[in-house]
Chain A
Amino acid sequence: MKKIEAIIQPHKLDEVKAALIGIGVEGITICEVRGHGRQKGHTETYRGAEYNVDLLPKVKLDMFVKDSQAEQIIEVLSAAARSGKIGDGKIVVSSIDEIVRIRNGERGETAI
């Protein structure tokens, strides 16, 4: 079982969600986050004084998937979230030991 985390541009959320549901992803959790990458944001001026916009708004997705699905999801997610410009985000994949469905105590892949 894998946990896939992705940090994407907020305006790409709808496309990514549709693409993932299209290939059979069962559940997604998202949250609104702020952060920066290598560019460290950018500067703007307000009434002539400069200020940094260094923590930009992003959306973070979490999903738990079967090992066999992982590669396809990475491919589809990257394609849907890509604009080709700086700030498109990252995908992180990690292995997980156990999943428990709280309602009935199911464990492992059936709990996904």
Chain B
Amino acid sequence: MKALRQSGTKRRKTLVDLLGGWAKLTLAAGIIAATLIPGMAQEPKPDPAGIVTGDRTTVIDAGGNAFVVTEPTDRNTPDYAQKKKDFDEFQSQAAKEPLAVKLADTVGHVRVATNFAWTLNTGYLVLVMQAGFALLTCGLVRKKNAGHLMMLNFAAYVFAFIAYYAVGYAFQFGAVAVNAAPTNLGGTPTLNHFLLGSGLWGFLGGKGFFMAGPAYDAGSNVYALFEVVFMETAGYIIVGSICERISFWSFLLCELFVGAILYPVFGCWVWGGGWLSQLGNTMGLGHGYVDFAGSTVVHAVGGFCAMALSVVLGPRLGKFGPDGKPRAFPAHNLVYVVIGTFILLFGWMGFNPGSTLGATDLRISVVAINTNLAAVSGSATAMLFWYMKFGKPDITMACNGMLAGLVAITAPCAFVGPASAFTIGILAGLVVCVGVLFNDNVTKIDDPCGAISVHGFCGVLGALCLGLFADGTYGAGWNGVGATSYLGHAGMGVTGLFYGDTRQFLVQVMGAGICAAWAFGATFIVFRTVNAVKSMRVSKEVEQEGLDVPEFGLLAYPEDAMHATSVS
């Protein structure tokens, strides 16, 4: 993420500017790496009490300009004279007004505190989405598996959380301060080391295992809370595809895999300051790969992981007839489906606007309205599509359409205007309808809740739409690119193809493709192997009976079984 990375990246960008050129970039990467290797330089200290985080250096005006002017270091830059003058002016003013500088420390602390409150509370909203997913997926399956679905959803939160706590967070954000410091939250300066790669080519974070040591820090813990619930979303998505046939033990393995490896690795590349986010600096590709709140980082990772698992498991018994024709297994509770969808919509109001990591970024209102617009246009499209094609609108597809719009707007929500958001929702509504029919009739991949179409296909669509519709009004200096001007305009932010930046679209295509390939490929290899050692499916008899009793000893609706048991 996200906007707050800007000023962190600006500092490094200055260095890049100074050096310029390819050969010197490599040198710069080396220097940065050298200064960041633990032990070689003085390490920043974590702030578990939260009393040091936020001071005069975190006072930043609406335009992103810092209150404290730092001393320019390289005399060879063309604007050195101007920068030195600004610095001297600040120094003399600070000397004249020491009280103002002291006050700025408090202002900076309050600014960070405001952003803490925003980020934590939007994180809690995202947490509520887990309840939405549980209701949605449970409602969409057959009654005999309802208890099993609820247990999968519940265990997903618990086990994926543990995996993310142990290693996932460190893999994803262990080097976030190198290229993408969340300055709105104080910058988390202690998370500064790549385990694999360095500088602009980071592949895996390497600090903060078990959220201890450098990650035992107030700013880092806000970030951890917000990010862990995002990871949980990816962890929940897979339930929608693998349910009604997966055994509990193998599901736990899937969740540990998602929380520890699959999600954090791609997350590091895009949000942790990793190589995909830096392609603007290294290869001149727009602002690097941009995904504001996770169309790909969260949803496509979950969706394509779900697809791979569904392929490994095979379809549910009887899903496809002898002639290959798909059969309907109608949802057992449409009330759950609709309530679950609305809870998800509500949670998304944390997911997207919260991804600014700060209420001091007033773009949050645009993000919120864009998110809602895509939700309604996606749902309307899916309803009308089904109405015209099958004569009746399908309630479950109307809900899938809303989620499709939400997934697709998640990446571009901060960079587009309302009209584009509405259009993106329409595209997502079409993609999800075609995707569900395509999986049922062409690929024959059984996807009981439509997770592959909603999260996988529409996640990729979201990343591409950012590359098309981003209008340049927001995101100046994103990923360390174009801090002063972009495409010849001062203050120009992330820009898509329709607004003049072809390279941004190219890098979006590339990043989304890599996301799908990584999520599908890694999952497929790992779980194809697991499945070869021991089948991940329950037995045929268990699947026919329903998984509730064989796996957990009780039906979701036990009165259904009373005729078969002694109740006197």
- Would you call B328 an interface residue if the criterion is a C-beta within 8 Å of the partner chain's C-beta atoms? yes
In the complex, what distance in Å separates the CA atom of A44 from the CA atom of B397?
A: 15
Determine which of A48, A50, A51 lies in contact with B436 in the assembled complex, contact meaning CB atoms within 8 Å. A48
**Cβ of A47 and Cβ of B397 under 8 Å apart?**
yes
B393-417 at interface with A (beta carbon < 8 Å): 394, 396-397
Q: Is A45 positioned at the interface, with any CB of B under 8 Å from its CB?
A: yes
Complex Cα gap A48–B328 (Å): 8
A46 near B394 with CB under 8 A, answer: yes
- In the assembled complex, the CB of B64 is this many whole angstroms from the nearest CB of chain A, namely 47
Name which residue of chain A comes closest to B320, CB basis.
Answer: A49
Evaluate contact between A46 and B436: CB separation under 8 angstroms.
no
Q: How far apart sit A45 and B327, CA to CA, in the bound complex (Å)?
A: 9
Q: Which of B462-496 contact A (CB under 8 A)?
A: none
Partner of B440, one of A44, A48, A51: A48
Greatest chain B CB density within 10 A among A46, A48, A51 is at: A48
A51 to B142 CA separation, bound complex (whole angstroms): 15
How far apart sit A47 and B437, CA to CA, in the bound complex (Å)? 8
Min CB–CB distance A46 → chain B (angstroms): 4
Contacts of A50 on B, CB cut-off 8 Å? 328
Asked whether B390 lies within 8 Å of A48 as measured between CB atoms, the reply is yes
Residues of A within 8 A of B328 (CB): 44-47, 49-51
Chain A residues near B331 (CB, 8 Å)? 46
Shortest C-beta distance, B337 to chain A (Å), equals 11
Which one of B329, B330, B437 contacts A48 once the chains associate, using CB atoms below 8 Å? Answer: B437
B375 to chain A, nearest CB (A): 20
Question: A48 to B325, alpha carbons, bound, how many Å?
Answer: 11
In the complex, whether B450 has a CB less than 8 A from a CB of chain A is yes
Residue of B nearest to A52 (CB): B328
Q: Separation in Å of the B332 CB from the closest CB of chain A?
A: 12
Q: Nearest chain-A residue to B321 (Cβ)?
A: A49
Number of B residues near A (Cβ < 8 Å) is 17
Within 8 A of B (CB), among A46-85: 46-51
User: Shortest distance in angstroms between B409's beta carbon and chain A's nearest beta carbon?
Assistant: 23
Q: How far is the CA of A44 from the CA of B167 in the complex (A)?
A: 48
Considering the chains assembled together, what is the distance between the CA atoms of A47 and B385 in angstroms? 12
The answer to whether A47 and B327 touch across the interface, beta carbons within 8 angstroms, is no
B440 touches A49 (CB 8 A): yes
Please measure, in the bound complex, the distance between the C-alpha atom of A47 and the C-alpha atom of B441, giving whole angstroms: 12
Instruction: Give the distance in Å from the alpha carbon of A110 to the alpha carbon of B450 in the complex.
Output: 64
Q: Is the CB of B437 within 8 A of A51?
A: no
B386 to chain A, nearest CB (A): 8
B394 touches A45 (CB 8 A): yes
Bound CA–CA A44/B437 (angstroms): 16
Within 8 A of B (CB), among A71-103: none
Q: Which of A16-47 contact B (CB under 8 A)?
A: 44-47
CA gap between A45 and B326 in the complex, in Å:
11
Q: How far is the CA of A42 from the CA of B450 in the complex (A)?
A: 26
Give the docked Cα–Cα distance between A58 and B397 (Å).
30
Per the 8 Å Cβ criterion, residues 286-342 of B in contact with A are: 325-331
Q: CB-CB < 8 A to B396: which residues of A?
A: 46-47
Nearest B residue to A48, CB-CB: B437
1/0 contact string of B532-547 vs chain A (CB within 8 Å): 0000000000000000
Distance between Cα atoms of A49 and B386 in the complex (Å): 12
Which interface residue of B331, B390, B396 has the most chain A CB atoms within 10 A? B390
Q: How near does chain B come to A51, taking the closest CB pair, in angstroms?
A: 4
| CB pair B440 A46 closer than 8 Å | no
Residue of B nearest to A53 (CB): B330
**Chain B minimum-CB-distance residue to A43:** B328
Chain B residue nearest to A50 (CB atoms) is: B328
Mask: chain B, 238-265; 1 = CB below 8 Å from A; 0 = not: 0000000000000000000000000000
Closest CB of chain B to A18's CB: distance in Å? 32
Q: How far is the CA of A44 from the CA of B330 in the complex (A)?
A: 10
- Complex: A5 Cα to B441 Cα, angstroms: 46
Chain B residues with Cβ under 8 A from A45's Cβ?
A: 328, 390, 392, 394
Question: Which of A44, A47, A49, A51 is in CB contact (< 8 Å) with B450?
Answer: A47
Tell me the minimal C-beta distance from A49 to chain B in angstroms. 4
A69 to B437, CA, bound (A): 58
Q: What are the residues of chain A within 8 A of B394 when measuring CB–CB?
A: 45-48
In contact, A49 and B326 (Cβ under 8 angstroms): yes
Q: Which residues of A contact B397 (CB under 8 A)?
A: 47
Q: Which residue of A lies closest to B391 (CB)?
A: A45
Query: Is the Cβ of A46 less than 8 Å from the Cβ of B437?
Result: no
Specify which chain A residues have a CB less than 8 angstroms from the CB of B329 in the assembled complex: 46
A45 to B440 CA separation, bound complex (whole angstroms): 13
The CA of A50 and the CA of B325, in the complex, are separated in Å by 9
Point out the residues of chain B lying under 8 angstroms from A48, CB to CB. Answer: 326, 390, 394, 436-437, 440-441
| Complex contact A49–B390 (CB within 8 A) | no
Q: Distance (Å) between the CB of A41 and the closest chain B CB?
A: 14
In angstroms, Cα B384 to Cα A64, docked, is 53
* A105 shortest CB reach to chain B, Å: 30
The answer for the CA separation of A87 and B493 in the assembled complex, in Å, is 65
> Which residues on A sit within 8 Å (CB–CB) of B392?
45
Q: Which residues of chain B from 326 to 365 have any CB-CB distance to chain A below 8 Å in the complex?
A: 326-331
A42 to B247, CA, bound (A): 36
**B440 neighbours in A (Cβ, 8 Å):** 47-49
Given A46-B394, A48-B440, 5 new contacts (CB under 8 A): A45-B394, A46-B330, A46-B331, A47-B450, A48-B326
Task: Return 8 A-B CB contacts under 8 Å, by A number.
Answer: A45-B394, A46-B329, A46-B331, A46-B396, A48-B390, A48-B394, A49-B328, A51-B328
6 nearest A-B residue pairs (beta carbon) = A46-B328, A51-B328, A49-B328, A49-B326, A46-B330, A48-B437
Q: Interface residues, chain A, CB within 8 Å of chain B? A: 44-51
